[in-house]
Amino acid sequence: MVHQTANTAVGSGTKPTYVTADGTLSASASTVGSSTRPMYLKEGVMTQVSYVGTAYGGTGLTSFTANRMLYTSSASAIGQAHFVNASKVAINYTSEPSYNFYVSGTGYFTGDTSIAGKLIMTGNIAYTNGGNQYDIIRFVTGDVNGAGVVIGGGGTAIFGSGESAYNFQSSSGANISGATETTYITSDNTIEFYTNCQTIANRVGVILNGSRQFYPSANATGSLGTENYKWGSIWTSGTVTANKLKISNTSGVSHIEFSRESHNYIHAPSSAGTIALCANATLSLANSGLVVTNTAVHPGANKTFTLGTSSYYWGNTYVG
């Protein structure tokens, strides 16, 4: 039951009324509590404390710091986290962040996230789909010169400039499941590969253009294979144009082999062209044992070559 002192009004128009510890109504002498202290209800009595934590009988905060966010640090205590000013927020971090957002654990985003500054991470970037999680970008411990990075999601990967990657996947129906594991490199223009870029002026490159032409970034430079690392075979259905064809195989095989069963040609297309066979270290027409023009076959120099030898005779000679 509530008791009240007789002949005395409880409270006034300017004084709040509250319930005291013995269950009676009483009027405050001025105001209840202070504007700088939190109030709470404990055992039916309204009171206030100078810090959060006592209200729950715990060991919570005894002071507040600007730009912090309160949270329940245990069942009976309240803590404060780095939060908040107009431009910074941190979760689970021990010092004031200098960037817009910092997560030292695992962060989950279910909607669009816009970041105007840097995104600094110490872990991998993963993607979860259908209960399976893949590290799309995996960072490898490095040093002051940089860190290693591994890019891949376990299935097919498409890398492209412009709209090429999206258009390629959408229009070609490229299978990007984990079973195919194919890598595609696409471009709306050319694809260029460069190495030796530590000093950028020394860079060297090769280019693949939109006409399926593959060529070096500087004319008459580079090679296909090296002296010690050769390609096995080259297959072409068109013309091979070169300044020089050198066959370095010294074994007893067909160095020049024709596959056509009928006529095969070695052709000098100019009407004034000459074909010369020179078996001499010094290459010249005069040292050529056989010269073929469009009207004659003759030695490279007058009266210097013979047909046959004293040991190797021709069988027959037919002239018209």
List pLDDT tens digits, range 280-318. 889 999 999 999 998 899 999 999 899 899 999 999 989
Distance CA 53, CA 59 (A): 6
Q: What pLDDT shows up at residue 55?
A: 45
Q: Is the confidence at residue 39, as pLDDT, over 90?
A: no
State which residues form the domain around 15.
1-48
**Which of 90, 122, 154 represents a domain boundary (last residue)?**
122
Same domain, 33 and 70: no
Residue 74 has pLDDT above 50, yes or no: yes
At 256-285, the pLDDT tens digits run 888 889 999 888 888 888 999 999 889 999
Clarify whether residues 78 and 36 are in a common domain.
no
Question: How many residues does the structure list for the chain?
Answer: 320
- 143 domain residue, yes or no: no
Task: Give the residues across from 127 on adjacent strands.
Answer: 134
pLDDT on residue 186: 94
Query: Strand 191-195's sheet: what is its strand order?
Result: 191-195, 204-208, 214-216
Mean pLDDT value across residues 110-118:
71
Same domain, 36 and 71: no
Q: Evaluate whether 118 touches 133 at the Cβ level (below 8 Å).
A: no
CA dihedral 173→179→181→185, nearest 10 degrees, is 0
Structure tokens given for 201: 């002026």
At 187, list the tokens.
Answer: 């471009």
Is residue 133 in some structural domain? Answer: no
In the listed set 84, 107, 122, which residue is the last one of a domain according to the structure? Answer: 122
Domain-embedded: residue 287: yes
Global pTM reads 0.60
Query: For all residues of the chain together, what is the average pLDDT?
Result: 77
Query: At residue 105, does pLDDT exceed 70?
Result: no
pLDDT cut 70: percent of the chain above it: 63
pLDDT of residue 58: 47
State the Cα torsion 91-129-152-177 to the nearest 10°. -170
Per the structure, how many domains does the chain have? 4
Residue 301 maps to a domain: yes
Residue 167 has pLDDT above 70, yes or no: yes
- d(CA 8, CA 271) in angstroms, rounded, equals 135
71 and 27 in one domain? no
Percent of the chain predicted with pLDDT > 90: 31
Domain assignment of residue 309, yes or no: yes
pLDDT at residue 57, rounded to an integer:
45
Could you tell me the pLDDT band of residue 102, with boundaries at 50, 70 and 90?
A: low
Determine the Cα–Cα distance for residues 243 and 219; give it in Å rounded to an integer. Answer: 13
Whether residue 245 lies inside any domain: the answer is: no
Instruction: Using alpha carbons, list the distances in angstroms from residue 213 to 193, 194, 201, 241.
Output: 14, 17, 25, 14
> What's the rounded Cα separation, in Å, for the pair 232 and 215?
20
Distance between CA atoms of residues 218 and 194, nearest Å: 12
Compare 115 and 211 and report the one with higher pLDDT.
Answer: 211
Supply the pLDDT for residue 213.
Answer: 95
Residue type, 105: G
Angle at CA of residue 129, ends 126 and 135, nearest 5°: 20
| Segments in the chain forming alpha helices (H) | 164-172
Residues 209 and 258: their CA atoms lie apart, in Å, by: 32
CA distance readout (Å), 71 to 68, 83, 103, 124, 156: 10, 11, 17, 28, 44
- How far apart (Å, rounded) are the C-alpha atoms in residues 48 and 78? 16
Which of 82, 78, 101 lies closest to 93 in space, CA to CA?
A: 82
Whether 289 is in a domain gets the answer yes
Residue 242 counted as domain residue: no
Same domain, 68 and 38: no
